[in-house]
Structure 1
Amino acid sequence: MAESPPITSPFVEAAPAARHAAFADLAAAGPVQRVMLFTGVPVWLITGYAEAREALAHPDIIKGKGGDGPHRDAVPAELAAAMDHHLLGADPPDHTRLRRLVSAAFTRRRIEGLEPEIRLIVDGLLDDVSAAGKHGAPIDLLAAFGYPLPLTVISELLGVPAEARREFQEWTTVAINGSVHPAETFIAAATSLIGYIRELIAQKLADPSDDLVSALVAVRADGDRLSEDELTSMVFLLLVAGYETTAHLICGGTQTLLTHPDQLDLVRAEPDRLPAVVEELLRFNGPAQVSTPYRTAAPVRIGGVTIPAGEVVLPALLAANRDPRQFHAPERLDVTRPPASHLAFGHGIHHCLGAPLARLEARIALGALVGRFPGLRLAVPPEELTVQASFLINGLTTLPVIVT
């Protein structure tokens, strides 16, 4: 009988520094190793940059029709089908077909056209932050700015009306962190979210407008189009992937800059650096701890280790982005660092389709935030900040700040 692998701790570490330290300890033991998740599932965790990059593009490391989400033994088949038929859970040729169809609707022009709207949303949210904090009252920037910004942007992009967005946020937060919620809580949230998505699709079929759901409903390529399950799954993926991660990119980036005042001074003095600043923040403290799971379709040798067929493979993005074999002084934040190819958005065919939107939101949000509030500072000592227990997300529970 095979010996049980050790249980990993990074996913449930409560302190930001402790989480990175736990991943560093795992990486020090080797770039590829078999460990036990806190959920009781054994996986091959890949912490090395070169090894993770190889795994993410390896033809024998696949998704295997998806179905790796939380509580899938308990999720009704109809609900699973409405969530699983998307890009992130598909392999070629299905992935190739879906990516072609979705890319025809989710265009760079559509994303770039959002910039004026994003700036208006940012300015309005920061007006509220300024008013609430004008007498020095602490503001939870995650609740007041981090979450509302991407939720509003993705809702505008998809055509979700304002009155539906509060429930939308509650369902989405549970859906993306399903592994830390009881099965019944996750299923209830996912059922509500999929039910609403179906209603939204029906509305756009009857009365299309200039939004992404209408474009996804209408898109065709070579006579092909998205099925109903593919439509609900893609909207579900865009919501989940485009909301929580972007919120934590913005607030995790803010926390990182506030705890590195010399780097914050550089950003304020040279705002043209912001695109490069966002890339360094993604590398240093990205919003995704790991990729979504993969499986080996055949024995695969990576980093001097042979992973048998049928095993779960988990590239650890946080660890890979601090691999000293790839990045000089990786534990140091350096917004002047020469451009480097981090893995915060993944790699290979599953590289994040929404990366341009996340970068755009982060650049506008961080630039406006540090420019508008020169006295911005943490309202608590840095060691009192905590990160949420999560399988995927590397995100703070709150970000208390003083803006005056």
Structure 2
Amino acid sequence: MEQPDTLPFPLDPAADPVAEAHELLAQGCPVRHVLLPGAVPAVAALDYESAKAVLGHPKLTKDPAHWPALTDGRIPDDWELIPLVQGAGMLHAGGEAHTRLRGLVSSAFRRASIESWRPRIEDIAATLLDQLETAATRDPVVDLRHEFAWQLPLTVICELLGVPASAITRLRGAFDRLVTPDPLDESGQGILEAQAVIAEELTQLIALKRTAPGADLATELITARDADDGSLTDAELLQTMFLLLIAGQETTVLLITGTVHSLLNDPQQLDAVRAGAFTWSDVVEEGLRHSSPVRYALMRYATEDIEIGGTAIRRGDAVLAALFAAGRDGEVHDGAHRFDLGRSTRQHLAFGHGAHFCLGATLARLEAEVALEMLFSRFPRIGLAGDEVPSMRSIALQGLQALPVRLGPTGR
């Protein structure tokens, strides 16, 4: 039976995800109507079971052609969430189209393939920690996000794709503008400019790899495109590379910084990890459950009338899965708002569920484990520098915009 009518809950990019999740879950309505920025209506699945049902439901598709509000022009081209809901890549495809696009890159992300990257990831982390130590000689307070956390996954995914080092800084700036739009930019011009920068850099990369192919994923994708067998269109090639870059970087940055922040706020649990009571894999999984980098998984569309969590979802409705709130569901986890390495279960949906389960989950876990173990080994006395840590402004993602720390003496 559908829940009693209530006013749609407005989702604010600047809201505190913890307070928002607590408020929504406390209302006892697992699925409810919400308003996205720009007063765009949607339906959000909030608790663990409902969010999981949305992610795997056969009558919910990622193909935005099934969203009448978009296809009939009610959603403007400069809507701030357009880059996250519209495109030619696998993120916005359903059915056979999604299977075809995913198959072109899945081999690069198999567990054995990713594990072979461990020595290189450790080398990159060691170099970045050296640079972090040098930075601390100039200023005892360093921003761990800027100086370490964002550089590790971005360097790895760029090497995997074959992106030249000269393009990394410009891409990173553009990605930041996409995932945290300027609240004063009502025209959406900043989003359009960021999209243009990314498209320009990727177009240049494609041209480079056609003249100088390498042993990298970009070359494999370009080869599939140039085989002219329908495997990949020009638009799909560009969008697939865009998705791999942004998905392979930003969420892992947020996972690393959020988990470091949780550990530094609870020294006893950090001591337990160092004593061997828990593994770094345990730490990463609790970080994913406690503070999923994905706040809301955007977007799925109902291909026919369905019901989830006692709420009717009409054909053409846009549906979100609240992955952050699902990790804080008290029906699944005792003391769900606590970061607790000793809990008996760490079920989470941070990497999604079903056909669109994150291709890079194994890589993200490996990068986070390496980053955390090497960081706390190098700097055993690391601590937070101040209590106020700024949070990002985003509907899709949640996490820290900066993480100022004092490193203390090294463990070498």
Give the TM-score normalised by the residue count of structure 2: 0.88
Deviation at 1:143, TM superposition (A): 0.8
Q: What is residue 28 of structure 1 aligned with on the other side? A: 26
Q: What is residue 154 of structure 1 aligned with on the other side? A: 157
- Give the total of aligned pairs: 391
Q: What is residue 19 of structure 1 aligned with on the other side? A: 17
Deviation at 1:402, TM superposition (A): 0.4
In structure 1, C-alpha distance between the alignment counterparts of 2:277 and 2:140, rounded to whole Å: 27
Q: What is residue 116 of structure 1 aligned with on the other side? A: 119
In structure 2, C-alpha distance between the alignment counterparts of 1:169 and 1:304, rounded to whole Å: 42
Q: What is residue 228 of structure 1 aligned with on the other side? A: 234
Tell me if the contact between 2:273 and 2:280 (Cα under 8 Å) persists in the aligned partners. Answer: yes
Paired residue type of 2:24: L
Q: What is residue 94 of structure 1 aligned with on the other side? A: 97
1:313 and 2:311 are equivalent in the alignment: no
In structure 1, C-alpha distance between the alignment counterparts of 2:301 and 2:265, rounded to whole Å: 38
1:327 and 2:333 are equivalent in the alignment: yes
1:200 and 2:205 are equivalent in the alignment: yes
In structure 1, C-alpha distance between the alignment counterparts of 2:194 and 2:277, rounded to whole Å: 40
Tell me if the contact between 2:180 and 2:392 (Cα under 8 Å) persists in the aligned partners. Answer: no
Q: What is residue 275 of structure 1 aligned with on the other side? A: 281
Q: RMSD value over aligned CA atoms?
A: 2.6
**Secondary structure of residue in 2 paired with 1:93:** helix
CA deviation string 1:299-358 (max 9, x = no partner): 111111111121111110011111111122212222233453310011111111111111
Tell me if the contact between 2:17 and 2:295 (Cα under 8 Å) persists in the aligned partners. Answer: no
Change (3 A) 1:306 1:379: same
Q: Which of the residues 184, 190, 193 maps onto 1:185? A: 190
In structure 1, C-alpha distance between the alignment counterparts of 2:61 and 2:393, rounded to whole Å: 26
**Secondary structure of residue in 1 paired with 2:249:** helix
Return 5+ residue gaps in structure 2 as ranges: none
In structure 2, C-alpha distance between the alignment counterparts of 1:176 and 1:158, rounded to whole Å: 21
1:63 and 2:65 are equivalent in the alignment: no
Q: Which of the residues 151, 159, 168 maps onto 1:165? A: 168
Paired residue type of 1:362: A
**Secondary structure of residue in 2 paired with 1:132:** helix
Tell me if the contact between 1:65 and 1:91 (Cα under 8 Å) persists in the aligned partners. Answer: no
Paired residue type of 1:292: L
Q: What is residue 53 of structure 2 aligned with on the other side? A: 54
Q: What is residue 221 of structure 2 aligned with on the other side? A: 216
Identity across the alignment (%): 38
Paired residue type of 1:43: A
1:337 and 2:343 are equivalent in the alignment: yes
1:239 and 2:255 are equivalent in the alignment: no
Deviation at 1:235, TM superposition (A): 0.4
Change (3 A) 1:178 1:348: farther
Aligned 1:253-402 pairs, distance under 5 A: 253-270=259-276, 273-381=279-387, 384-402=388-406
**Secondary structure of residue in 1 paired with 2:145:** helix
Give the TM-score normalised by the residue count of structure 1: 0.90
In structure 2, C-alpha distance between the alignment counterparts of 1:233 and 1:75, rounded to whole Å: 18
Tell me if the contact between 1:115 and 1:360 (Cα under 8 Å) persists in the aligned partners. Answer: yes
In structure 2, C-alpha distance between the alignment counterparts of 1:87 and 1:271, rounded to whole Å: 40
CA deviation string 1:235-290 (max 9, x = no partner): 00011111111111111110011111111111222286111210111000121111
Tell me if the contact between 2:55 and 2:352 (Cα under 8 Å) persists in the aligned partners. Answer: yes
Change (3 A) 1:176 1:140: same
**Secondary structure of residue in 1 paired with 2:349:** coil
Deviation at 1:233, TM superposition (A): 0.5
Return 5+ residue gaps in structure 1 as ranges: none
